[in-house]
Structure 1
Amino acid sequence: MDANGLQFWMLAEENHFQLPGEPAQLNYDRDKRCLRLARQRRQLSFSSSEVLARENLELVPRCEDSYHTIAYWDSIREALMATGALQGAVEIYSPPLLPDDSDFSNIPSDVLMGTDGVLYIAINDTVLMQDRRERWDDQQLNRENFIPWRMAASAAGGVWVLDRDNGKLGRVTGLPLPKRLGGGTRNEQAQACAKNDDPPRILELSESFFGSDEEPVAIAANAQDLVAVLSWLSDGTALLRLITLRSDSSLAVSDAITLSGVIFPYSLAFHENDKLAVLIAGDNTEVPVYSIATVGKSWWPVGDLYPLAKNAVVGPFMHTPSIIAHYSVITDDEQIASKALRKLSFPFYAKQGFAFNNSELLLLDGQKPGMTWHRLFIEASIPRGCGVRIWLAATDDYAEPQDLCSHQWFEHRFGEIYRADNDFDGPVACWEPVASEIPHHSGFLPCDIEAQFCGLFSALIQRRGKKSRALKGRYLHVNIELTGTGRSTPEIYALRAYGSRFSYVHQYLPPFYHETISEPDASENGTATPADFMERFVANFEGVLTRLEDRIAAAHRLTLPESAPAQSLPWLASWVATPLEQALSENQQRKLLRYSHLMNRWRGTLRGLKLALELATDDGISGGEIVVLEDFRMRRTFATIVGADLDDDDDPLTLGGRVSGNSYVGDTLFIGDENKKEFLALFSADLDISGDEAQAITNLFDRLAHRVTVLVHQEIEPQNMDLIREVVAREAPAHVVVRVLSASRPFLVGMAALVGVDTYLAKKLGPSKARIDHSQLTRNAYLTGPAALDPRFEGMGSGIPTDVERAPVAVANNVTASFGETVVLDASASRAWQGRRITEYHWSINEE
Structure 2
Amino acid sequence: MDVNQTRFHLLHGRADWGQLRLSDGTAALAELWQQPEGVDLPVVWDDTSRALRLTSRVPLFRRASGTEELVIAQRRGADRDSYGNWYWIDEAESGIRFLPSGGSPATEFWTSLRRDERCALPDDGGFAAKPAPAPEPLLLRGLAVTKAHYLVVGDVTRRGLLVFDLHSGDAPILLRWPAGVPFEPWDLAATSDGGLLVLDRTHATYWRLNDDFRLPGQPLPGETIWFQPKDGAAPAPAGRTELQPEGFPLSLESPPDLLDAVSIAPGPDGTVLVLDSHPLRPFSRLLQYQDGLLMASYSLEDAVTVADPATGPGATVTFSVVGHDVAYCAAPDGEGLANQKSLVYIAEQAGNQTLAFEMDEDAEQLIAQPLYLPMRRWQGKALVCAGGQVYYDFADRWVSLQPFMDCQYDSRAVLVTPPDFAGWIAATGLESPPAAPDKVTGAPLDSALAGCVWHRLLLDAQIPPGTAVQVRARAADDARLLSQQSWLVQPTLYLRSNGCELPYQDPWKDLETVPQRTGTWELLFQGVQGRYLQLELTLTGSGRATPALRNLRAWYPRFSYSENYLPAIYREDPVPASFIERWLANFEGFFTYIEDHIEHVDALFDPRTAPADTLQWLACWFGMVLDPLWDEQRRRFFIRYADHIFRRRGTLAGLQIALRLYLEPNVDASLFDPACWEGGVVRIVERFRTRKLSGAALGDATAESGSTDPADDAHRFTVLLPHDLDDEQLAMAGRIVDLEKPAHTEFELKRFWDLFRVEEARLGLDTRLGESSRFLPLILGESYLAGSYLPAAYPF
SS of equivalent to 1:572: helix
Matched position secondary structure for 2:762: helix
| Corresponding residue number in structure 1 for 2:753 | 745
2:358 is equivalent to residue 292 of structure 1: yes
Kindly provide the amino acid, as one letter, of the partner of residue 444 in structure 1: W
AA at the equivalent of 1:547: Y
Match of 2:273 in 1: 228
State which of 39, 59, 82 in structure 2 corresponds to 1:22: 39
C-alpha separation in 2, matches of 1:478 and 1:293: 34
Aligned-partner Cα distance in 2 for 1:242–1:543: 58
- Output the CA distance in 2 between the equivalents of 1:384 and 1:289: 29
Matches within 5 A, 1:399-438: 426-438=490-502
Deviation at 1:496, TM superposition (A): 3.1
| Structure 1 SS opposite 2:409 | coil
> Is the 2:359–2:366 contact (alpha carbons within 8 Å) kept by the matching residues of 1?
no
1:216–1:229 contact (8 Å) kept in structure 2: no
Work out whether residues 78 and 144 of structure 2, in 8 Å CA contact, stay in contact via their aligned partners in 1.
no
Cα drift, residue 556 of structure 1 = 1.1
SS at match of 2:353: coil
For 2:355, the aligned partner's letter is V
Asked if 2 retains the 8 angstrom alpha-carbon contact of 1:318 and 1:338, the reply is no
Contact 2:756–2:766, Cα closer than 8 Å, also in 1: no
Larger RCO (CA under 8 A, 6+ residues apart): 1
Aligned to 2:245: 201
Q: Structure 1: which 5+ runs fail to align?
A: 74-79, 94-107, 179-188, 330-336, 412-425, 463-467, 517-527, 640-657, 664-670, 679-695, 768-848
> In structure 2, what is the equivalent of residue 591 of structure 1?
637
Shift of 1:135: 2.3
Paired residue for 1:631?
687
* Unmatched 5+ stretches in structure 2: 19-28, 81-85, 98-106, 116-137, 165-170, 216-225, 228-236, 305-317, 331-341, 419-438, 775-796
Q: Is the 8 A contact 2:277 2:323 kept in 1?
A: no
- Correspondence 1:304 to 2:348: no
Equivalent-residue separation in structure 2 for 1:390 and 1:243 (angstroms): 50
Deviation at 1:562, TM superposition (A): 2.4
Tell me if the contact between 1:392 and 1:478 (Cα under 8 Å) persists in the aligned partners: yes
> What is the rounded CA distance, in whole Å, between the counterparts of 1:631 and 1:286 in structure 2?
64
Partner of residue 484, structure 1: 542
Among all aligned residue pairs of Structure 1 and Structure 2, give the percentage whose two residues are the same amino acid: 20
Q: What SS does structure 2 have at the residue aligned with 1:267?
A: strand
Structure-1 residue corresponding to 2:130: none
Cα distance, 1:428 vs structure 2: 1.6
- 2:616–2:626 Cα contact (<8 Å) kept: yes
Equivalences, count? 623
What residue is the counterpart of 1:113 in the other structure?
143
CA offset digits 1:706-740 (Å, max 9, x no partner): 44433333433444444444443443345x51415
Alignment equivalent of 1:171, drawn from 208, 226, 245:
208
> Do 2:446 and 2:531's aligned partners in 1 also have CA atoms closer than 8 Å?
no
Q: Which amino acid aligns with 2:173?
A: R
Number of the residue aligned with 1:668 = none
* Shift, 1:553, TM fit: 0.5
Q: 1:62 to 1:91 in 2, by over 3 A?
A: farther
1:511-660 matched pairs, under 5 angstroms? 534-578=580-624, 580=626, 584-618=630-664, 624-634=680-690, 636=691, 638=692
- Residue 603 of structure 2 aligns to a residue whose secondary structure is helix
Q: Which one has a bigger Cα radius of gyration?
A: 1
Which residue of structure 2 aligns with residue 460 of structure 1? 524
1:296-349 Cα deviation digits (max 9, x unpaired): 94534645252563xx77xx76476876455799xxxxxxx8986866967234
Query: Could you tell me how far apart the structure 2 residues matched to 1:455 and 1:597 are?
Result: 37
Please name the residue that 2:177 is paired with: 139
Question: Cα distance, 1:554 vs. partner?
Answer: 0.6
345, 349, 352: which one aligns with 2:411? 352
Aligned twin of 2:5: 5
Distance in 1 (CA, whole Å) between partners of 2:417 and 2:682 is 48
| C-alpha distance 277-501 of structure 1, shift in aligned 2 (>3 A) | same
* Deviation readout 1:813-835 (Å, 9 max, x if unpaired): xxxxxxxxxxxxxxxxxxxxxxx
1:712 equivalent in structure 2: 721
Higher mean displacement: 440-449 or 504-513:
504-513
Q: Which of 20-29 and 153-162 deviates more?
A: 20-29
Deviations 1:645-703 (A, max 9, x none): xxxxxxxxxxxxx768988xxxxxxx99945332xxxxxxxxxxxxxxxxx6xx41x44
For each residue in 1:371-404, what CA deviation from the matched residue of structure 2 results, as whole angstroms up to 9, or x when unmatched? Answer: 66532222333333333335667789999xxxx9
Which SS does the other structure have where 1:457 is aligned? strand
Alignment of 1:663-812 (within 5 A): 674-678=703-707, 699-700=709-710, 702-733=711-742, 736-748=744-756, 754=762, 757=765, 759=767
Tell me if the contact between 2:52 and 2:550 (Cα under 8 Å) persists in the aligned partners: yes
Change (3 A) 1:215 1:546: farther
Alpha-carbon spacing, 1:216–1:134, altered in 2? closer, same or farther (3 Å): closer
**1:374 corresponds to:** 455
Alpha-carbon distance in 2 for matches of 1:478, 1:276: 37
Asked if the contact 2:414/2:539 (under 8 Å) is kept, the reply is: yes
Distance change >3 Å, CA 613–CA 276, structure 1 → 2: closer
Conservation of the 8 A alpha-carbon contact between 1:353 and 1:482: yes
Q: What does 1:27-106 correspond to in 2, within 5 Å? A: 28-37=45-54, 39-42=56-59, 44=60, 61-64=75-78, 70=89
Is contact 1:746–1:764 with CA below 8 Å preserved after alignment?
no
Q: CA deviation at 1:747?
A: 2.8
Q: Indicate the SS of the match to 2:495.
A: strand
1:492–1:202 distance in 2 versus 1, CA, 3 Å: farther
Q: TM-score, normalised by structure 2?
A: 0.61
Structure 1's 451 and 578: CA in aligned 2 closer, same or farther, altered over 3 A?
closer
Q: CA deviation at 1:350?
A: 1.9
Q: How many angstroms does 1:555 deviate by?
A: 0.7
- Cα deviation digits, residues 567-614 of structure 1 (max 9, x gap): 544443343445545665544333222112223444454444444444
Distance in 1, Cα, partners of 2:514 & 2:353: 37
Q: 1:585 to 1:110 in 2, by over 3 A?
A: closer
Which letter does structure 2 place at the counterpart of 1:561?
P
Match of 1:495 among 549, 552, 556: 552
Equivalent-residue separation in structure 2 for 1:752 and 1:252 (angstroms): 54
User: Partner of 2:431 in structure 1?
Assistant: none
User: How many angstroms apart in 2 are the aligned matches of 1:375 and 1:484?
Assistant: 27
Offset of 1:551 from its aligned partner?
0.1
| Cα separation, 1, equivalents of 2:634 and 2:759 | 31
In 2 relative to 1, CA 386–6 (structure 1 residues): closer, same or farther, beyond 3 Å?
A: same
Q: The residue matched to 1:436 in structure 2 has which SS?
A: coil
Q: How far apart, in 2, do the equivalents of 1:482 and 1:764 lie?
A: 60
Amino acid at match of 1:558: L
User: Would the alpha carbon gap of residues 348 and 577 (structure 1) be closer, same or farther in structure 2, given more than 3 Å must change?
Assistant: closer
| Cα distance, 1:470–1:343 mapped onto 2, change above 3 Å | same
